[in-house]
Structure 1
Amino acid sequence: MKISDLLTYKRGKNLFLPAHGRGFALPTDLRRLLRKRPGIWDLPELLDIGGPLCSIGAIAVSQDESAKVFGADHCWYGVNGATGLLQASLLAIAKPGEAILMPRNAHRSLIQACVLGDIVPVLFDIPYLSDRGHAYPPDIDWLNKVLKLTSSCKLDITAAVLINPTYHGYSSELSILIKRLHKQGLKVLVDEAHGTYFASDIDKGLPVSALKAGADLVVNSLHKSAQGIVQTAVLWSQGQLVDPSVISRCLGLLQTTSPSSLLLASCELALKELTSRSGKRNLSSQIDDARDVFLRLKNLGLPLLKNDDPLRLVLHSSYHGICGFDADKWFIKHGIIGELPEPGTLTFCLGFNPLKGLAHAMKKCWYKLLLDNTSPKTYPPFPGPNFPLLSHPSMSCSLAYRSNSNLVMLNEAEGLVSADLVCPYPPGIPVLIPGELLDQQRINWMLGQHKFWPNQIPLQVRVVS
């Protein structure tokens, strides 16, 4: 089947990204635009339109207006997803040879930025939920332990990265963490790709947005947690710690010189949807409906895990001896397509999809699966990676990535230096980064993970020759 045919293929209940539900919840003005003559909207950076890095034109005006509405000092629209904006942000807050403190669940794009900019990632371990195999955000006590260790680190740490919320919707008290990092003299970048709609500030039960919590730089994905088209994202900056002209220059290194005018329009309209009266009303209703679905399914006996994002449902399939990958295949077979299968869980993105009838359909599907699963497995707790609380590569990420390298069997790699990212996808979180030394403990853990993720954790690894 051709790619173009697959784009319109009917897939059942679409509980996966992008969050607009295959067009159902696209902003009205964007839907109106897409109904016009095909391609009429495909324009270059004409003088009256401009681009994300232009000082004049409609896009510059739109970015300024969005910054004011959301309480930021500056705003840049992105058409290379959150990835491009995170990478530019990292280059803006550290010079070559400097170090950035970041959690082990940092997205691969941040490690790639360290490769590009010859920046040292100082990685801190985070809490791990072994009953389901998920990383969990740190609290202030955990962060204090990490910062205490940095005092003996001989690297020049200039900034810190926080991930909030996680892919599964877990969140931390950002305000306290950011305040503590600022006290340490560090600039703070928050990867809030999955929490854009928190900034709507319409529900006291939602986590505080990273902007409101005081982050210096914040990156939001507009297709993951708002109503934008895939690849749309936004970067916000506030305060005096990061020079906006440096940010713009770093964006210029990574942004295309031919940004899609359709995607830029989608950035503007997705943000307006979060702040308009009708958009807020619809979002509030969606949150209420999502919470109702969660409670109904919970009361019906489905093993759902509690999180902080009502628009994410996490099914703890391994609690009943069912691998998340097997559960995913079953749900797809019965017309319900989730977002993220893992060994222990299956995560559904409710997004802005219509939720009528969802609880009944999921309950019916789940109980059919239980009946079909005549020989459930007994899952032990999923072992954590046992990373040190604080670590950094033994060789420059940039040098390791660019060095001569060769593939070796994982069980023969002890004492060698990784030349590449080993990174299950989704959600794209590295278990090994360029420059890290492979010790036997890490190798044993990766071999164990291979049994759960045979298609994601390789038995060969690329190492520096």
Structure 2
Amino acid sequence: MGLPLHLPAHGRGRGLSPALAALLRQRPGSWDQPELPQFGGPLVDGGAVAAAQQRCARQLGADGVWFGVNGATGLLQAGLLALAPPGSRVLLPRNLHRSLLHACVLGQLRPLLFDLPFDPATGLWLPPSPTHLAQVLDAAAVAGPVAALVLVSPSYQGQRADLPALVALAQQRGLPVLVDQAHGRAEALSAGADLVVLSSQKAAGGLAQSAALLLQGQRVDRQALARALLWLQTSSPSALLLASAEAALTELTSPAGLGRWRQACRVGERLQRHCRAAGLTLVANDDPLRLVLNTAALGINGLAADAWLLERQVIAELPEPGALTFCLGLAPPAGLVWRLPRQLERLRHALGGDPLPPFSAPPLPLVGEPELPLGLAWRASCEVVTLAAAVGRIAAEPLCPYPPGIPLLVPGERIDPARAAWLQRQALLWPGQIADTVKVVAA
């Protein structure tokens, strides 16, 4: 029996919200309903969906909730478009999901990409400290006003930022804050965020593509938000995915759901103790349901570790050059606490060696804007050149190992010699994920 430790977080059905599991046991297709008057939809004032959204808002302490059926992607895009009119500048972290770049193209926004602290031991970006963000805000303000700030917390690897302090810093300067909390449980609301995006499949018992957008306070124009949702959400939403969003949100605050989450966390804490007792180095994080193996400390590239484990039916969620992330979900597999450490010990004996050398941080400014407008560069005539020949050229597409879809290079950025050399090293660290060529704007 294998160990599926990947998303969706419902463990191939074992951890689905009970209400959703009951719905799926009905006759296939019986839940595939249109937007009948009594049913409604996310943008309709009356009906069952509107009532469910209002109920979830009360349970979570939000002023408004909208369900989404094209994942956190569509809701992140709608949130950003609601906060920023065309031509405005928006502050985005370098560990943004690429969907936010798509929103900048759609909304004719100017992305200001801010650098993050970097861990050379694992090659991972780290959450910004309040001091770091204050420096970012100061640097961004030099060139003019900024419309909004986006933060990512927790990260894919379960590392949380000090959201109350970060949100307060931004709002003191009049900036509304959108938090990408696809891997979280709505704690950004209590931190004061204006908009929060949740994914039903990443930290709750819902289906892929179901998500929710949460609103609080008066800094966001509700009409602008409704308009952006109208632009980006389908006019025929899946009733099943809407039910998934409702069930997942309800479970976040229900006594039974909280009990199940705490039980899963206890399993995760025991797993971490067993791994450390076996001499396995873990990346420190804040989520017991995300186990992050420091493969660099074992002398193993995370992509090679993932390939070796896959052959033994251990399926991780996210391989990276210096780390391998496992998602336990709300129903961790039976025997996980002893089975996974045993496999990881075998991995160390099979592939391990001296620790990998430190990873080099990307040579990036604290805050940088693409030299050529993002949409213009992405649509421009382009040519394919080697990374070595890309020095001085302007990128025409994102360079984005997948998953998790975090771009190492953004269209419109000029590739200076240091960046080109760094990208060549990245291509060696991500075998099969990064080509040795890149598209650049035609000369």
Q: Check whether TM > 0.5.
A: yes
2:293 maps to 315
TM-score (norm 1): 0.93
1:450 maps to 427
User: Which is further off, 327-336 or 41-50?
Assistant: 327-336
**Is residue 2:53 matched to residue 1:63?**
yes
Deviation at 1:378?
4.9
Which one-letter code corresponds to 1:350 in the other structure? L
**Is residue 2:227 matched to residue 1:259?**
no
1:28 maps to 18
Q: Distance in 1 between matches of 2:325 and 2:131?
A: 29
Which one-letter code corresponds to 1:450 in the other structure? A
Deviation at 1:140?
0.7
Which one-letter code corresponds to 1:92 in the other structure? A
Contact 1:117–1:398, Cα closer than 8 Å, also in 2: no
Deviation at 1:178?
0.4
Which one-letter code corresponds to 2:53 in the other structure? Q
Deviation at 1:404?
2.0
Contact 1:74–1:244, Cα closer than 8 Å, also in 2: no
Once the two structures are superposed, the pairs formed by residues 79-118 of structure 1 within 5 Å of their partners are: 79-118=69-108
Contact 2:19–2:247, Cα closer than 8 Å, also in 1: yes
**Is residue 2:183 matched to residue 1:194?**
yes
Which one-letter code corresponds to 2:150 in the other structure? V
The equivalent position to 2:407 in structure 1, one of 430, 434, 450, is 430
**Is residue 2:436 matched to residue 1:459?**
yes
**Is residue 2:149 matched to residue 1:160?**
yes
2:385 maps to 408
**Is residue 2:344 matched to residue 1:344?**
no
The equivalent position to 1:382 in structure 2, one of 324, 339, 359, is 359
SS, match of residue 210 in structure 1: helix
Task: Give deviations 1:12-55, integer Å, cap 9, x for gaps.
Answer: 21100000000001122221211111111111111111111111
Deviation at 1:335?
2.5
Deviation at 1:142?
0.7
User: Which is further off, 409-418 or 108-117?
Assistant: 409-418
SS, match of residue 381 in structure 1: coil
Q: Distance in 2 between matches of 1:355 and 1:288?
A: 13
Q: Distance in 1 between matches of 2:342 and 2:262?
A: 27
Contact 1:15–1:353, Cα closer than 8 Å, also in 2: no
The equivalent position to 1:182 in structure 2, one of 154, 171, 186, is 171
Contact 2:271–2:337, Cα closer than 8 Å, also in 1: yes
SS, match of residue 304 in structure 2: helix
Deviation at 1:372?
2.3
Deviation at 1:143?
1.0
Contact 2:267–2:332, Cα closer than 8 Å, also in 1: no
Structure 2 residues without counterparts, runs of 5 or longer: none
SS, match of residue 159 in structure 2: coil
Task: Give deviations 1:96-136, integer Å, cap 9, x for gaps.
Answer: 11000111111101111111111011111000011001010
2:8 maps to 18
**Is residue 2:132 matched to residue 1:145?**
no
2:398 maps to 421
1:204 maps to none
Once the two structures are superposed, the pairs formed by residues 329-368 of structure 1 within 5 Å of their partners are: 329-368=307-346
**Please, what is the CA RMSD of the aligned residues?**
1.3
Q: Distance in 2 between matches of 1:371 and 1:127?
A: 32
The share of aligned pairs that are identical, in percent, is 47
Q: Distance in 2 between matches of 1:40 and 1:361?
A: 40
Structure 1 residues without counterparts, runs of 5 or longer: 1-10, 200-208
User: Which is further off, 433-442 or 13-22?
Assistant: 433-442
Q: How many residues align?
A: 442
Deviation at 1:384?
1.1
TM-score (norm 2): 0.97
Contact 1:102–1:160, Cα closer than 8 Å, also in 2: yes
The equivalent position to 2:30 in structure 1, one of 36, 40, 49, is 40
Q: Distance in 2 between matches of 1:315 and 1:277?
A: 32
Q: Distance in 1 between matches of 2:133 and 2:355?
A: 34
Deviation at 1:141?
0.8
Contact 1:290–1:355, Cα closer than 8 Å, also in 2: no
SS, match of residue 304 in structure 1: coil
